[in-house]
Amino acid sequence: MIESRFERVTAFTDLVIGILAAYIASHLGNSVGYKASIWQWAFGLLAPASVLGMIAHGLNISESARESIWKPVNLLLGLTLGLFAVGATYDMWGEEIARKLLPYMIVLSFVFLGVTLFIPGTFLTFVAYEALAMLFALGVYGVLLFRGTLPGANWMALGIIVTICASVIQATGKPGKSIIWYFDNNGTFHLIQMAGLWLLIIGLKQSL
């Protein structure tokens, strides 16, 4: 294990998110249909990304090995966000439009990976990519909540708001600086994100 207590806590919370995401993906496997498949893949990809994040944060490995781990993490997270956007599109415009959007979001995820590989300062690139996906989804579920046409839209919107708040803390904080006990910006992000995931699964269960 790495010596930094902040990184150990971040690694532990990454592991918890991975377990939670795997549980949600498994739970969604009980549902049928294109929508359930999209969300099952989204959470299913988040699970290994979180486990790899745990390894990168928690193990005392070389910097080159750590950098190698972040590459598949970026791809998995990019695909997760892309599928999140496809899932929101399904709820707003239906399956046909969602199916048409899916390949474009997959390509965009690989473009995002290419940016992280060849352009420095990739963390801010990820923050911008995540912000666009989350704001798009928030707009969708805000409209659906206003219309009252989708059960669970209120929980989906709330889960997205919590996710955005967590991302702001991650982007504006400093690694290794205590926020709560040994939770730095990354650990606190994970802690808040757990609540966001629970809110999302409540909304998904109602909408499915």
Q: What are the pLDDT tens digits along the chain (208 aa)? A: 898 999 999 999 999 999 999 999 999 988 889 999 999 999 999 999 999 999 999 999 998 999 899 999 999 999 999 999 999 999 999 999 999 999 999 999 999 888 888 876 556 677 788 889 999 999 999 999 999 999 999 999 999 999 999 989 888 888 778 877 889 999 999 999 999 999 999 999 999 9
Per the CB < 8 A criterion, the answer to whether 22 and 40 are in contact is: no
In whole angstroms, give the CA distance from residue 193 to residue 5.
Answer: 20
Reported pTM? 0.92
- Residue 121, sorted as left (phi over 0), alpha (psi -120 to 50) or beta, turns out to be left
pLDDT, one tens digit per residue, over 138-172 is 999 999 999 999 999 999 999 999 999 998 988 88
Listed in sequence order, the residues at least 6 apart from 60 whose beta carbon sits closer than 8 Å to its beta carbon are 1, 2, 3
CA distances from residue 147 to 2, 144, 151, 201 in whole angstroms, order as listed: 50, 5, 11, 21
Amino acid at 162: V
Around Cβ 117, how many Cβ atoms within 10 Å? 12
pLDDT, one tens digit per residue, over 73-97 is 999 999 999 999 999 999 999 999 9
